[in-house]
Structure 1
Amino acid sequence: MDNSIVVKTENLTKSFSNKEIIKNCNITVYEGSIYGLLGANGIGKTTLFKLLTGLLKPTMGKIEILGMGMAVSKNDILRNIGCLIETPVFYEHLSANQNLKIHLGYMDSDENNIEHTLERVGLVGLGKQAVSTFSVGMRQRLAIARAIINKPKLLILDEPISGLDPMGIRDMREFFLELAKTHNMTILISSHILSEIEHIADTIGVINNGKIMKEHTLSSLKTQFTDGLENYFLDVMNGGK
């Protein structure tokens, strides 16, 4: 695999009860980029992310991440991935600090930047507070902190701004851009809010019927679809070129 390619799948397929949710799916994500994955509800975005993070095994096909095959190097790959998929789960009776320490231990990481990480996601001074007292937005911020605390090379985020207020959405947008542009972290992100993807993504992929239908740079799309990303998305979903 090309060293500049962080994620590559070939004919990736996942079936449940003989129904294919992911079908011959091919995706390419380049180092240091933000790849925005778009698709309707129930179309396979979360299933694809679970395959890429080893939470599900493919029925068929190939996954390569950071030049390693998921089938033979799963543990090495997972040490270099941070992820937020579906509703985050925490040890409710423990503090934010304690939850992050447990995660670092699980990742076999010696990073000692818990307070700084909480500060970066907007949870200043809340490290000792029990997670059971956190609002939905605070939990989402903590989940993002957990995903990035071990400084992964690849960050996979499924609807990461869910539950955040407008200020939180703006803060996370700026943070994700900083991670990619300053720290060369590769980010694969999905969102129902097309304008947010439009603000941060370098590349756009649209998934429909279990396949990546199109992959384009955002700059080329802005030239072709001057009215915005929504028109492009609807055009692809309706079978356009």
Structure 2
Amino acid sequence: MSEIIVQTNNLSKTFKKYKAVDGVDLRISKGDIYGFLGPNGAGKTTTIRMLLGLMKPSEGDIQLFGQTFDQNKLECLRRMGSLVESPSYYEHLSGRDNLEALRILLQVPKSRIDEVLEIVRLTKDAGRPVKQYSLGMKQRLGIAASLLGNPELLVLDEPTNGLDPSGIQEMRELIKSMPSKYGITVMISSHLLSEMDQMATRVGIISKGKLIYQDSIEKLRNKAMPQIAIRVSHVAKAKGYLQSNGWKVSSDADHLFLEGTSDREVAEVVAFLAQKQIGVYRIEENRHTLEDIFLDLTKGGELDASSTAS
């Protein structure tokens, strides 16, 4: 059983009468890249602020590293690093000097600056003033700053916001290397499921303050079962033949649709239709993307009860 790094129980936050976070039970294990997903305004940043001690929960409790956060706040925070919203810098100072100012506050060895610059691939640009950095470089410097204290848990809030495609790819590769290369568990919030699909090992989806899905990315992918569309000459007749022989099939005016069908079963269906003198004009595979599933879930689509119980 993996060590649980983050656990929340009935975590809630109410602003006047508005419940921004409603009974959230997070479970993040050691070594996870946990994608915390939801539309803008779903409660992601509020949840993260509570995990970082920047906001007090209205209800519920937080356990970090097996300890009650309220009673061990300083000790827990020493084991965490975070990048929430846009990092702030002394623009006239170099990247290295910005890290040095923070290093003095954190009281970590001077050698740690070179280590974190190497991790985020900023060694060559460490001497340049930050005002000359691209947005992607500034984000990487922000991650370098969050790594200075040698954290076991790194919390990132929308770290790819505003980055161009190459900056996003750099950030993705950096995050993916964290657990295996540096032993860091990562929690990363985003509203972009396509990005999480390429780096997360586990996801939690929040919508209107409620956690509506929490499980491995693999199980979420399995919900995206392909659909086979077959264009045929006589839809109603073909559908009747297939249904009377035990195949599950739906249709529209021109197509038959088979769900989650193997290549072999598709071949059997086509051979069967040919036997029945039904013309088969075209076969296509329609895949539901993870984006489709995400949109369905956050618009109130149904989930298996087991999906949120993990």
TM-score scaled by structure 2? Answer: 0.73
1:116 and 1:39 map into 2 onto residues whose CA distance is 33
Match of 1:210 in 2: 209
The superposition leaves residues 4-52 of structure 1 with CA deviations (integer Å, 9 ceiling, x where unpaired) of: 1000001111122342211111111011011101111111111111111
List aligned pairs for 1:1-241, cutoff 5 A: 4-110=3-109, 112-226=111-225, 227-239=288-300, 240-241=302-303
8 Å contact 2:37–2:192 — kept in the other structure? no
- TM-superposed CA distance for 1:111, in Å, is 5.7
Moved more, 57-66 or 121-130: 121-130
Name structure 1 gaps, 5 residues minimum.
none
Structure 1 runs (4+) deviating above 4 angstroms are: none
Where 1:89 maps in the other structure, the secondary structure is coil
Amino acid in the other structure paired with 1:220:
K
The superposition leaves residues 146-183 of structure 1 with CA deviations (integer Å, 9 ceiling, x where unpaired) of: 11232210010111112332222222212211111233
2:182 and 2:64 map into 1 onto residues whose CA distance is 18
Where 2:124 maps in the other structure, the secondary structure is coil
- TM-superposed CA distance for 1:141, in Å, is 1.5
**Bigger Cα Rg:** 2
2:107 and 2:210 map into 1 onto residues whose CA distance is 35
Amino acid in the other structure paired with 2:298:
M
The superposition leaves residues 126-163 of structure 1 with CA deviations (integer Å, 9 ceiling, x where unpaired) of: 21222233232221111111112322100101111123
- TM-superposed CA distance for 1:3, in Å, is 6.7
Match of 2:268 in 1: none
8 Å contact 1:95–1:130 — kept in the other structure? yes
Amino acid in the other structure paired with 1:32:
G
Amino acid in the other structure paired with 2:37:
L
8 Å contact 2:41–2:208 — kept in the other structure? no
The superposition leaves residues 85-110 of structure 1 with CA deviations (integer Å, 9 ceiling, x where unpaired) of: 11111122322112112222323323
TM-score scaled by structure 1? Answer: 0.92
- For residues 224 and 56 of structure 1, do their structure 2 counterparts lie closer, same or farther at Cα, with a shift above 3 Å needed? same
- The higher relative CO (CA closer than 8 Å, separation ≥ 6) is in 1
- TM-superposed CA distance for 1:116, in Å, is 3.7
Identity across the alignment (%): 38
Where 2:72 maps in the other structure, the secondary structure is helix
8 Å contact 2:43–2:209 — kept in the other structure? yes
Where 2:127 maps in the other structure, the secondary structure is coil
2:115 and 2:143 map into 1 onto residues whose CA distance is 13
Moved more, 172-181 or 79-88: 172-181
